Amino acid sequence: MRAIDLITTALRNLQRQKLRSILTIFAVVIGATSVTIMLALVTGAKGFFISQFSANGTLQQVAVSSKTDLTKFNDNSGGGNSCDSCVKLSDDLVNKIKALPHVTGVARRLSAGAFEAIIYNGTPKLSLNQIVGYDANGILTNTMLVGRDISSNDTTGVVTVTSDYADKWGFKGHYGDLIGQPVQLLSRTWYQGVGAVITPPSNQPGDHNGPRAGTSTTLTATVVGVSDATSQSASVRAPLAWVRQMNEQQMYQQTDADRQAQQAECQGSHGPCNPQPHFTLVVTDMLATNGYDALTAKAATPANAAAVAASIRKLGVGAADAESFIQAQLQIFNIISLVLGGIGGIALAVAAIGVVNTMVMAILERTREIGVMRACGATRATIRRLFTIEAGLLGCLGGVVGVAAGYGLTYVANILINRQLLAGSVQAKNIIGLPLWLIAAVIGATTIIGMLAGLYPAFRAARLNPVEALRYE
Amino acid sequence: MSVSVELNHVTRTYRMGDETLHALDDVSLTITPGEFIAITGPSGSGKSTLANIIGGLDMPDSGSVTVDGLNLAQAHDRQLSAYRNQAIGFVFQSFNLQPNATALENVMLPLTLARMHAGPRRARAKECLEAVGLGERLRHRPTELSGGQRQRVAIARALANKPSIIIADEPTGNLDSERGGEIMKVLKRLNADGITLIIITHDLTVAAMADRILHIKDGRLTERTK
């Protein structure tokens, strides 16, 4: 029997028991739909993450921290003076990293935590966690919606803000109007950095040599750009040099010259001398004490990132590439895929049992017909093929309908996700993909499952004795 | 194709619980091409077993069945299937037509199994149905046909691959005498065209039309001369 005749005969046989065939196919549909959605979700999510990371060069980045046990790529909490025994992230270390093979550059990152609020044009102040500065050498970038990012020409007085600030200031939908506008950065009372007004100590006992309690400093900056709040953009970014100045400590100290001047006042005095204490405002760059918060090295290619991380770790600091971070992000999708895969797997197993049942029933009903076919010259192999193809068609049709249902559901899901992405100003759409290979794989798999489930009934049909089959009532 | 059939010392037994039933007991027989043979005998005597063994549907326990040089007793499934498809046409008492297929589709079955292409297959099936007087009933399903017409569809199916032997097991058993007579006329005409005709029958009138009558009782064959 020719293949085309086997298939048309098998299809006609399935049509004879429409309800039974539909019910059997329905079970396959449930399994195929679950598996389709699962695979579409996982491949779509992975593709989305990897494309996002590839687009901004994250796959080439290696995070460097003074924490030697750094495992998380996006852990910026290390550094500073939180770890006395740690190796400081100094410029000396930066130069050593730059000298390593496959390293094309290093971005230094520093944050100023002494600011509590950001104010625009007298609007209520919005809380501010920290002001972030990093080298504008293209290794770390903000995802800009309008305006420009901080550049290497900027030194002080400019910031970029994320769109959530712009939204709260009433610029939603016209972020461009915020560009060039001044904003105030309001410090905490203990701020001693650039711009802080430090009062000289008086002669009163117990007077301290820093700023007086209750006084905040306001720095004014011009907004040069609005960045994407949903990406990994810094919430308020300022030039690295300016952030370094914000971390300075200004305080009045008595220098040797002050002491000499004080002693000079009493020279020639024979009675008790009570000279005015002399103080000088000393500015200390805290970078030498604390180092940078974090460094980000850039590897020549994403493939080099792991090797670069390993060689940086040999310098006594922690280093991690983006791979581990991506894996962590994909964990949730792996869990979803396991759940859906489990449902799909169980549904497909039940469907396979349904196919076996349907085909065994078909053999009982068509025993005499099998006898007639054998009398007319059908070989055992022909009977076996016919029943295997019938079972395979049940699986195939279930797969086709399941993929169609999966396509419909992913289409709806994409519409919903696109809305969310648009609301968050993310430049991506239709992240759940249904590639051609996936469609072919699901239909192919359900067809094979159907054929495997049909093997036992098919062998049973082929083994029937033609004489007994013809006598079967 | 004209072929002779030779059975030598053919034995076929069935086990029915503890009892052994001798369906065929040392049967030897030669059928020459173009012969019309009637096999008669009481129920359970082994008539159908003999016809099934000649038709390649059943296998002897011992002895040989040689058709055109092929020993059916030692043939593989593929060879036996080809033999049934090309050399034999079966006609059954209860017609054994596929109820949901049209007359044309029923007749096309052996042609489909012979891997014939759709066009010639349809033409040949139509030709066979016209030969049995059903040229106007091609699209009818068995349920839309009378008993005699159904049996003629079965004969057309048996004719499809131009067999050299037609084996008809009680072809008139389910028909009244008038329809039975019509069927016998069709079969006689085929025999006259050179096809070997082997009919199993209880009906002595049908048996009387044959060239030879073989009588079986308890698996033993006796030949009755007319």
CA distance B56 to chain A (A): 8
For the segment A300-323, the average pLDDT, to the nearest whole number, is: 87
Give chain A's largest Cα–Cα span: 143
The C-alpha atoms of residue A380 and residue A386 are separated, in whole angstroms, by 10
Residue A211: predicted pLDDT:
57
**Which range has the worst mean pLDDT, A196-200, A230-234, B38-42, B203-207?**
A230-234
Q: Is the pLDDT of residue A269 over 90?
A: no
**Which range has the worst mean pLDDT, A52-56, A255-259, A413-417, B11-15?**
A52-56
Residues paired with residue A61 on neighbouring β-strands, in sequence order: A298
The C-alpha atoms of residue A216 and residue A114 are separated, in whole angstroms, by 10
- Give the list of residues 6+ apart from residue A227 with CB closer than 8 angstroms, or none: A142, A143, A144, A145, A149, A160, A161, A162, A163, A233, A234, A237
Only one residue has tokens 């990293």, namely A97
Q: Is the pLDDT of residue A81 over 60?
A: no
Residue A201: predicted pLDDT:
74
Per-residue pLDDT band for A213 (boundaries 50, 70, 90) equals low
Residue A65: predicted pLDDT:
86
Closest CA to A378 of B161, B8, B178, B200: B161
CA distance B57 to chain A (A): 6
Per-residue pLDDT band for A111 (boundaries 50, 70, 90) equals very high
Residue of B nearest to A2 (CA): B115
Q: Is the pLDDT of residue A473 over 80?
A: no
Stronger pLDDT, B157 or A202, i.e. the higher one:
B157
CB-CB under 8 Å, A375 with B90: yes
The C-alpha atoms of residue B40 and residue B18 are separated, in whole angstroms, by 28
When scoring B16, B50, B57, B107 by the number of chain A Cβ atoms within 10 A, the one with the most, hence best to mutate, is B57
Token digits of residue A275? 């000279």
For the segment A339-353, the average pLDDT, to the nearest whole number, is: 86
For the segment A264-290, the average pLDDT, to the nearest whole number, is: 81
- Report CA dihedral (B208, B209, B210, B212) to the nearest 10 degrees: 40
Highest mean pLDDT among A53-62, A285-294, B97-106: B97-106
The C-alpha atoms of residue A316 and residue A90 are separated, in whole angstroms, by 13
Which DSSP category does A201 fall into? P
CA distance B80 to chain A (A): 8
| pTM for this prediction | 0.69
CA distance B212 to chain A (A): 25
**B192 burial level (CB within 10 Å; 0-12, 13-18, 19+):** exposed
Percent of chain A with pLDDT over 90: 44
The C-alpha atoms of residue B178 and residue B176 are separated, in whole angstroms, by 6
For the segment A268-297, the average pLDDT, to the nearest whole number, is: 83
CB-CB under 8 Å, A470 with B96: yes
For the segment A155-159, the average pLDDT, to the nearest whole number, is: 92
B31 in helix, strand or coil?
strand
Q: Is the pLDDT of residue A209 over 60?
A: no
Stronger pLDDT, A269 or A449, i.e. the higher one:
A449
Mean of the per-residue pLDDT values of chain A = 85
Only one residue has tokens 């100290």, namely A253
Stronger pLDDT, A472 or A86, i.e. the higher one:
A472
The C-alpha atoms of residue A471 and residue B93 are separated, in whole angstroms, by 11
Percent of chain A with pLDDT over 70: 91
Chain B residues with CB under 8 Å of a chain A CB are: 52, 55, 57-58, 77-78, 81-82, 84-86, 90, 92, 96, 98, 100, 109-110, 112-115, 157, 161
**Distance between first and last Cα of chain A:** 27
A278 in helix, strand or coil?
coil
**Distance between first and last Cα of chain B:** 28
The C-alpha atoms of residue A469 and residue A364 are separated, in whole angstroms, by 10
Chain A residues with CB under 8 Å of a chain B CB are: 1-2, 5, 9, 16, 368-369, 371-382, 466-467, 470
CB-CB under 8 Å, B96 with A371: yes
Per-residue pLDDT of chain B in tens (226 residues, 90 and over written 9)? 567 899 999 999 988 888 888 889 999 999 999 999 999 998 888 888 999 999 999 999 999 999 988 899 889 999 999 999 999 999 988 889 988 899 999 999 999 999 999 999 999 999 999 988 888 999 999 999 998 899 989 999 998 999 999 999 989 888 888 888 888 998 999 999 999 999 999 888 899 999 999 999 888 988 766 6
Closest CA to B138 of B95, B106, B112, B162: B106
CA distance B30 to chain A (A): 22
- Give the list of residues 6+ apart from residue B19 with CB closer than 8 angstroms, or none: none
CB-CB under 8 Å, B96 with A373: no
Q: Is the pLDDT of residue A471 over 80?
A: yes
The C-alpha atoms of residue B14 and residue B68 are separated, in whole angstroms, by 28
A19 in helix, strand or coil?
helix
Per-residue pLDDT band for A78 (boundaries 50, 70, 90) equals very low
Q: Is the pLDDT of residue A401 over 90?
A: yes
CB-CB under 8 Å, B161 with A377: yes
Count how many Cα atoms sit within 13 Å of the Cα of residue A198 in the half-sphere of its side chain. 23
For the segment A181-207, the average pLDDT, to the nearest whole number, is: 81
CB-CB under 8 Å, B77 with A380: yes
Q: What are phi and psi of A192, to 5 degrees?
A: -125, 10
Q: Give the type of residue at A181.
A: Q
Sheet (strand B165-169) strand order = B88-91, B165-169, B196-200, B36-40, B212-217, B220-224
Residue A39: predicted pLDDT:
84
Of B55, B58, B96, the CB nearest to A372: B96
B-chain CB neighbours of A2 within 8 Å are 112, 115
Q: How many CB pairs under 8 A join A and B?
A: 60
Residue A422: predicted pLDDT:
75
Helix (H) or strand (E) holding B64: strand B62-67
Residues paired with residue A297 on neighbouring β-strands, in sequence order: A62, A106
Residue A83: predicted pLDDT:
58
Helix (H) or strand (E) holding A337: helix A322-365
Q: Is the pLDDT of residue A159 over 70?
A: yes
Evaluate whether A341 touches A38 at the Cβ level (below 8 Å).
Answer: yes
Per-residue pLDDT band for A391 (boundaries 50, 70, 90) equals very high
For the segment A152-176, the average pLDDT, to the nearest whole number, is: 91
A257 in helix, strand or coil?
helix
Residue A80: predicted pLDDT:
44
For the segment A304-326, the average pLDDT, to the nearest whole number, is: 85
Closest CA to A56 of A142, A151, A161: A142
Closest CA to A391 of A322, A346, A446, A429: A446
Give me Rg for the CA atoms of chain A. Answer: 36
A-chain CB neighbours of B153 within 8 Å are none
Only one residue has tokens 């590897």, namely A299
Stronger pLDDT, A91 or A129, i.e. the higher one:
A91
Per-residue pLDDT band for A339 (boundaries 50, 70, 90) equals confident
CB-CB under 8 Å, B109 with A376: yes
The C-alpha atoms of residue B196 and residue B33 are separated, in whole angstroms, by 6
Stronger pLDDT, A304 or A204, i.e. the higher one:
A304
Q: Give the type of residue at A159.
A: V
From its phi and psi, is residue A328 left (phi > 0), alpha (psi between -120 and 50) or beta?
A: alpha
The C-alpha atoms of residue B83 and residue A40 are separated, in whole angstroms, by 53
Residue A69: predicted pLDDT:
64
How would DSSP label each residue in A103-149?
EEEEEEEEEE--EEEEESTTPPPEE---EEEE--SSSS---EEEE--
Residues paired with residue B222 on neighbouring β-strands, in sequence order: B215
The C-alpha atoms of residue A153 and residue A226 are separated, in whole angstroms, by 18
Helix (H) or strand (E) holding A295: strand A294-299
When scoring A1, A2, A372 by the number of chain B Cβ atoms within 10 A, the one with the most, hence best to mutate, is A372
The C-alpha atoms of residue A36 and residue A439 are separated, in whole angstroms, by 8
Evaluate whether B41 touches B215 at the Cβ level (below 8 Å).
Answer: yes
Strand A103-112 and strand B5-16: pairing?
unpaired
